[in-house]
Amino acid sequence: MDSQEKTHFSEFFEEADIDGNGYLTFAELASVLKKNGYTGTEVEVKKMFAAMDTSGDNRVSKEEFMIAMMKKPISVHREAELRAIFQAFDEDGDGEVTPAEIKSAFDKMGLSFGDEQIEELMGLMDEDASGSISYEEFIDKAAHLDIF
């Protein structure tokens, strides 16, 4: 794990540790995962929490959390990053990204793209030609095209 990843995971832990006591409860972990777009079931979150709680005290220390993150395959972390990017683009939260939302997101990043460039990106990612990019299309194309 490089220093950038450690920083990212540390910041995630701090965000999740709502009461600031240095430990995550199940509720804190579930809350921050949902806030960050995790769509897994409660059972999946409970399994994740139990796997991290190696001491068995019903709370996850920062050390336990960091060790668990080091054990996760890179692909798991990559999907989480892509989910966060998708959410940033999906301004209205409807699960679809429109050309206007893409343009708006790029504008906020200080990147100027013309309509032609946005249409080209849509052509690459909008597999069903619906005029918008679903979460599944985004994840599939972003992972395979290494766009983000």
Convert the pLDDT of each residue in 71-88 to its tens digit: 765 555 567 677 778 888
Residues 14 and 30 placed together within one structural domain of the fold: yes
Using the 3D structure, point to which of 21, 38, 72 is the last residue of a domain: 72
With tokens 């989480």, the residue in question is 80
Among 19, 14, 41, CA closest to 30: 41
5 in Cβ contact with 12 (< 8 Å): no
- Based on the domain organization, do 84 and 139 belong to the same domain? yes
Please indicate whether residue 148 or residue 32 has the higher confidence score (pLDDT).
32
What pTM value is reported for the model?
0.54
Domains identified in the chain, total number: 2
The whole-number average pLDDT for the span 100-121 is 90
Read off the pLDDT of residues 14-48 as tens digits, 9 standing for 90 and up. 999 999 999 999 999 999 888 877 777 889 899 98
Residues 27, 52: one domain? Answer: yes
Which residue range is the domain that position 82 belongs to? 77-145
Calpha distance 30→26 (Å, rounded) = 6
For the ranges 81-95, 107-121, 132-146, the maximum mean pLDDT occurs at 107-121
CA 124 to chain centre: 22
